[in-house]
Amino acid sequence: MATVTEPSALDAASAEARGRLAELAAIRAQALAGPGEKATAAQHAKGKLTARERIELLLDPDSFQEVEQLRRHRATGFGLEAKKPYTDGVITGWGTVEGRTVFVYAHDFRIFGGALGEAHATKIHKIMDMAIAAGAPLVSLNDGAGARIQEGVAALAGYGGIFQRNAKASGVIPQISVMLGPCAGGAAYSPALTDFVFMVRETSQMFITGPDVVKAVTGEEVSQNGLGGADVHAETSGVCHFAYDDEETCLAEVRYLLCLLPANNRQTPPAVAAGDPADRATAALAQVVPADGSRPYDMHRVLEELVDDGELLEVHERWARNIICALARLDGQVVGLVANQPQTLAGVLDIEASEKAARFVQMCDAFNIPILTLLDVPGFLPGVDQEHGGIIRHGAKLLYAYCNATVPRISLVLRKAYGGAYIVMDSQSIGADLTYAWPTNEIAVMGAEGAANVIFRKQIAAAQDPQAMRARVAKEYKAELMHPYYAAERGLVDDVIDPADTRTVLIKSLAMLRTKHADLPSRKHGNPPQ
């Protein structure tokens, strides 16, 4: 016989359920509000957004799903037991960018200054593990004061767990660090392990030892921005890939970058319908690039003429400007561009340019982005500083990166391609799938004058008019070994093409190579030059 519940009992149960829901709503409201309006006003007064405002800008509207919102620390001592805010100073979860899943964690500077404690670190570890397991990009919004000193070594161990996961995720999922406040000491190594670092001028800084320590140890006086601000890292150290004036622009560019990257290393970058015709002629290139190899020009104009709608996302735009690394689209397909910049240092390769390009090539290869290399390079930069600084091992980094890359690779020689720099810049001999050249190309061991000085030095020295002799033998050398078809006749260039046909040729070549499959020898990993 069924038991009949008294109406009063049902009412009591319903009232209890409503009470529980009201309690949950109050706790959630407290967690969402954070430490209060005063702390939020202080954050805004510094020109900074709150963690939740940043997440809203980064992700598609109403897509964020928070994880462990109600987490609180369990530390005691130094007054911590009396202060146990929800979230413990970091907001973690996932959402979408243009409909694609992205994981995110954001330090809340209003709580403990965004400092990392045990519970805080555990939340980050979890979201990183989820991103790796799901095969989706991870974005960190950094605004923290480093390790939570009151929690001692437990906080330091938390950083170790983050670093270990950064390394595990490297080359597996895109990792993007967005610096929106201070990042000092060991905390700075996590962004350094990720694929891209964004910074905001004036409000974000990165350094291992702060200005006070620097002054105490070396006597040098420097501001926080002078030591580790966005401009310093974008122009001098190369730590920062992108720098912007405000958080809104910065986060919009993060979204744009994510739209150019695949979710993980098993996928290809997202393609879009191209509004720019694949067969569009690029006749203007013949006027952009002077035939005279000694005259500079802006390589940006060449790239903008080639790619869809002239749109580029340049990486490390202000560091090592003698080489350009950028992401763009050709016929709607993402491609990585590496190009010498004749406008800076005549486009030579030096230590910084080699490092910049090597890192970019490795990133493209890791995430299945075809690489297009445009050459106009007179060689490596000579000098005592370069040799003593290790140009040999730094140049070898770029050589190693290209040789190790299995994605589709196309190189295009516009003008000069001399010596070892020609080989290193993805020549056919190190594995480029296709190599094209314009009729203005000069592929050789060195320039004609330099070659003449070496080969004919005795004849030049013995001549009645050394200058005239040098000019004559240089002309002979150029005609014999540096004419535009010398490399093509020997199979080192697949074709010499009209600049006007360049875009069409590249798009057709990339379409053919899209199904390329190449295996490296079985190994744990290589041992690249350092």
Q: Which of 171, 238, 332, 420 is catalytic?
A: 420
Calculated CA dihedral for residues 384, 388, 392, 397, nearest 10 degrees: -120
The position carrying tokens 């020689």 is: 413
- Residue partners of 193: CB distance under 8 A and separation at least 6: 163, 166, 167, 170, 175
Q: Is 185 a catalytic residue?
A: yes
11: left (phi over 0), alpha (psi -120 to 50) or beta: alpha
Contact 372, 353 (CB under 8 A): no
Contact 493, 436 (CB under 8 A): yes
Residue 186 corresponds to which tokens in the numbers above?
A: 């060991």
Q: Is 347 a catalytic residue?
A: no
Q: Is 186 a catalytic residue?
A: yes
Contact 101, 263 (CB under 8 A): yes
Cα(236)–Cα(228) distance, integer angstroms: 10
Q: Residue 77 is which amino acid?
A: G
Residue 3 corresponds to which tokens in the numbers above?
A: 């038991």
Residue 396 corresponds to which tokens in the numbers above?
A: 């070898």
Cross-strand bridge partners of residue 199: 179, 243
Q: Is the dihedral of CA 331, 334, 340, 345 positive or negative?
A: positive
Compute the 3-state secondary structure of the chain and give helix, strand, coil in percent, each to the nearest 5. Answer: 45, 20, 35
Q: Which of 113, 135, 171, 186 is catalytic?
A: 186
Cβ-based neighbour number of residue 276 at 10 Å: 15
Q: Is 389 a catalytic residue?
A: no
Q: Which of 230, 357, 421, 448 is catalytic?
A: 421
Give the CA distances from residue 15 to residues 9, 19, 129, in Å, rounded to whole numbers and listed in that order: 10, 6, 40
Cα(145)–Cα(521) distance, integer angstroms: 44
Q: Which of 113, 185, 238, 390 is catalytic?
A: 185
Cα(314)–Cα(193) distance, integer angstroms: 20
> Residue 136, SS3?
coil
List, by residue number, the catalytic residues.
185-186, 420-421
